Chains A and B, each alone.
Chain A
Amino acid sequence: MLQLMIFGGIGLLAMVSEVLGFSRIMSLLFRVGTLVCIASLFINYGLDITWFGNMMVEDRFSQAFILTTCLMLATWTFGFGRKIGEDEFRNDYIALFSFSMVGGVMMLSYTNLVMLFLGLEILSIPLYVLVGSSKRNLKSNESAFKYFLMGAFASGIMLFGIAFLYGATGTFDLHQMSLQAQTGGTFPIFFHVGMVLLIFAFAFKMAVVPFHFWAPDVYEGAPNAMTVYMAALVKTFAIASAFRFFFLVFGGEAGIYSTLLIGMSAVSMLLGNIIGAVQDNPKRLLAYSGVGHAGFMLMAVIVNGQVGANALLYYSVVYSLSLFLAFFVLDKVLIHDDFYWSIGDFKGLAKRNPWLAMSMSVALLSMAGIPPLGGFYAKLFMLKAAFTNGHYVLIWAGLIGSLVAMYYYLKFIINMYSRNPDSDVDLNLTLNYWDKLVMGFIGITLLILGLFPDLVSALIRF
């Protein structure tokens, strides 16, 4: 609740700051607000607080996820905030980001389907604008329009699903729904229709096969800072809210819907990585690998329970950090603005600037799951959870998907280290101390998370 008020308040202040003349300190206020959120969560951690008669409940799950997403947001501002801070519309950006965080916090702590739907909308509408925020750029406009059209359909499908669920159970409240699920046992057919529609709407936001078609186009067209926000944080919000729904309604299992979810998860791990292997554009490559990672994270929803929650939390943190690092390097290397980016742009990056090549390798190896880095434990926790619950299909799909992913991540790294740069590029990519600090910080955090996974992976205890 406090986080909702802080982010909402910052958004409102950013709107009026231009008129009242404190627009210079707005980005400082945004950072301070994020830090206050983190601090308040540290203080209140472990308390169960119910707001407004079961509209939203702050339990361990929501607190842990809000805490990590706020930390991720702080890291994001640390890395990408400077570029936005120099923009002439920086206060609009701040307002839009704060409002979308409000939506995210709602999606992480809802116990009522009305709050879920409102949260999804509040999260999405600023995102449509942010994706199209480089206004002179045709690709950015195209991707914003695509995302808007598809997202509007996804919202409609979610609303339709919620209406079916309401028709079947007569309530929006998840606790009452779970009481009916535990006592009655049989639901009318509408309930299943509603559930399937709801799962599809979640799958759209997570970019899981077969609802992934928007992801590569939108990731390619959007400005880098927005792409990484969307790929890391929004994916976390969507999967965590799906997890929360299953956890609260079916009491820690995916029930009869696990077949559908297993199919979607396995296919996206395989298909996302196989299509990713033939991509030449680095942003599209990361988008398809993101589809594969979304499939991995969906495993947590299927396994559910405390093990699933912790695995999801750890995976989302590590994936977000790796993505931040990868996109930070991408932002520095792909400086020509014509959208004909390819892996060839990274040829011989180690000779042009060893810092960038090193950071990119760390990010890619972490995503691939190489031991000292965080990605290894992320995948291990997921696979272990799936193994103890006997979902062997998921394990095979996850292993094969990871192997294919390893191929194109290593191809990328070989490109950077053992080729010579093209003759027409600037041989010295210069970085300032701030850039090195950001990259070093994220890289070392990934290493620390890999060495001490318990820092994050034991946060949630129901």
Chain B
Amino acid sequence: MVTEMMFYFLSFVAILSAIMMISTKNPVHSILYLIVTFFAIAGHYFLLNAQFLGMVHIIVYAGAIMVLFLYVIMMLNLNEDAEPVKSKYQKISATVSGGIFMLVLVASLRSAEVSLEKTRNTDIGLVNQLGKVLFNDYLLPFELSSILLLSAMIGAVFLSKK
């Protein structure tokens, strides 16, 4: 019961903030609404028992990528006045093509068969399970990815030295 209520609440927040994101005029507000959307989707992951995916979603999307977006917007110095004026025909054609796209999506989703295996291991998304796989089967790639990160770091330092 609580899960169901949480699901509806999170879905409501996600859809509302997504609509707010594309309808608001100020790009910075738009980005902030996008962050809210990402948090709501991460909440869905937690409800589905996928802790790791939820955490990574927050860290990567709501953290790193959003900071990048904000940085770009700050650099470009966009604000409400900078928004280009669009003609009526553009708006109409955009609405029609968006509507057609949505129709196609809904139609294809309706005809798609969704079959879920009932006897699935629902604990597979837990950090515990993932850690076991990562440190047993994939230990070598895990360790070697540190070299990848190190070489990227050395490269950045090397190129920025005078």
- Contacts A125-B151, A129-B154 supplied; 5 other A-B pairs, CB < 8 Å: A52-B140, A53-B137, A56-B140, A118-B145, A126-B154
Asked if B19 CB lies within 8 Å of chain A CBs, one says no
Residues in A lying within 8 Å of B, measured CB to CB: 4, 8, 11-12, 15, 51-53, 55-56, 89, 92, 95-96, 99-100, 102, 106, 112, 114-115, 118, 121-122, 125-126, 128-129, 132-133, 135
Chain A hits for B158, CB < 8 A: 89, 92, 96, 129, 133
> How far in angstroms is the closest Cβ of chain B from A131?
11
Question: Would B140 and A8 count as touching, CB distance under 8 A?
Answer: no
* Residue B71 CB within 8 A of the other chain: no
Chain A nearest CB, measured from B17 CB (Å): 29
> How far, in angstroms, from A327 to B151 measured CA to CA in the complex?
26
Task: Determine whether the beta carbon of B147 is less than 8 Å from that of A102.
Answer: yes
B92 within 8 A of A: no
The CA-CA distance from A132 to B156 in the complex, in Å, is: 11
Any chain A CB within 8 A of the CB of B105?
no
Decide if the interface of chain A is mainly helix, strand, loop or mixed.
helix
B1 within 8 A of partner (CB): no
CB of B100, distance to nearest CB on chain A (Å): 27
B152 CB within 8 Å of chain A: yes
Q: How far apart sit A11 and B161, CA to CA, in the bound complex (Å)? A: 19
Contacts of A135 in B (CB 8 A): 159
B155 and A96 within 8 A (CB): yes
Chain A nearest CB from B150 CB (Å) reads 7
Q: Given A11, A12, A51, which contacts B140 in the complex, CB threshold below 8 Å?
A: A51
A391 vs B150: C-alpha distance in the bound complex, in angstroms? 45
Q: Is the CB of A115 within 8 A of B140?
A: yes
Q: How far is the CA of A11 from the CA of B144 in the complex (A)?
A: 13
In the complex, chain B residues whose CB is within 8 Å of the CB of A114: 138, 141
Q: How many residues of B contact A (CB 8 A)?
A: 18
How many A-B contacts are there with CB distance less than 8 Å? 68
| Residues 67-104 (chain B) with a chain A CB within 8 angstroms | none
A89 to B150 CA separation, bound complex (whole angstroms)? 17
Q: Which of B137, B152, B155, B161 has the most CB of A within 10 A?
A: B155
The answer on a CB contact under 8 Å between A4 and B154 is no
Q: Which 8 A-B pairs have the closest CB atoms?
A: A129-B155, A99-B151, A52-B140, A92-B158, A55-B140, A114-B141, A126-B151, A122-B148
Nearest chain B CB to A173's CB is how many angstroms away?
10
**Nearest residue, chain A, Cβ from B139:** A52
- Interface hits, B113-162 → A, CB 8 Å: 137-141, 144-145, 147-148, 150-152, 154-155, 157-159, 161
Query: What residues of A have a CB within 8 angstroms of the CB of B152 in the complex?
Result: 125
Inter-chain contact B141/A115, CB cutoff 8 Å: yes
Docked Cα-Cα span, A372 to B151, in Å, equals 42
Q: How far does the alpha carbon of A387 sit from the alpha carbon of B148 in the complex, in Å?
A: 42
A122 with B140, Cβ < 8 A, contacts A132-B159, A133-B158 known: no
| Neighbouring B residues of A118 by C-beta, 8 Å | 141, 144-145, 148
Cβ 8 A contact of A11, one of B137, B139, B150: B150
Q: Across the interface, do B155 and A128 meet the contact criterion of CB distance under 8 Å? A: yes
Chain B nearest Cβ from A220, distance in angstroms: 20
Would B148 and A121 count as touching, CB distance under 8 A?
yes
A92 to B151: give the CA distance in the assembly, Å.
Answer: 10
- Known A96-B154, A115-B141; judge A11-B147 contact (CB<8 A): yes
A163-B25 Cα distance, complex, nearest whole Å? 38
The answer to whether A122 and B151 have CB atoms under 8 Å apart is yes
**Distance in angstroms between the alpha carbons of A100 and B141 in the assembled complex:** 15
B147-A99 in contact (CB<8A): yes
Which A residues touch B151, using CB under 8 A?
Answer: 11, 95-96, 99-100, 122, 125-126
| Shortest distance from the beta carbon of A50 to any chain B beta carbon, whole Å | 11
Please measure, in the bound complex, the distance between the C-alpha atom of A129 and the C-alpha atom of B144, giving whole angstroms: 19
CA distance A401 to B4 in the complex (A): 68
Q: Mark B9-46, 1 if CB is under 8 A from A, else 0.
A: 00000000000000000000000000000000000000
User: Which residues of chain A have C-beta atoms less than 8 A from B148's C-beta?
Assistant: 118, 121-122, 125
Cβ A106 vs Cβ B159 within 8 A: no
CA A250 to CA B150, docked complex, whole Å: 35
13 contacts between A and B (CB under 8 A): A12-B150, A55-B140, A89-B161, A92-B157, A102-B144, A106-B144, A115-B144, A118-B141, A118-B144, A122-B148, A125-B152, A126-B154, A129-B154
For the complex, what is the distance from the CA of A4 to the CA of B146, rounded to whole Å?
Answer: 13
**In the bound complex, what is the Cα–Cα distance between A122 and B137 (angstroms)?**
20
Name, among A15, A96, A129, A135, the residue most crowded by chain B CB atoms within 10 Å (CB to CB): A129
Chain A: CB-nearest residue to B156: A129
- Measured in the bound complex, the distance between the Cα atoms of B148 and A55 in whole Å is 17
Contacts of B138 on A, CB cut-off 8 Å?
55, 114
Contacts of B154 in A (CB 8 A): 15, 92, 95-96, 99, 126, 129
Name the CB-closest residue of A to B138. A114
A129 CB contacts on chain B under 8 angstroms: 154-155, 158-159
Q: How far is the CA of A52 from the CA of B157 in the complex (A)?
A: 33
Partner among B144, B157, B161 whose Cβ is within 8 Å of the Cβ of A4: B144
What is the bound-complex CA distance between A12 and B153, given in angstroms? Answer: 12
A89 to B160 alpha-carbon distance, docked (Å): 12
Which residues of the other chain, B, contact A53 by a CB distance below 8 angstroms? 137
Question: Smallest CB–CB gap between A223 and chain B, Å?
Answer: 14
How near does chain B come to A64, taking the closest CB pair, in angstroms? 22
Bound form: Cα–Cα A89–B145 in Å = 24
CB nearest neighbor in B for A12: B150
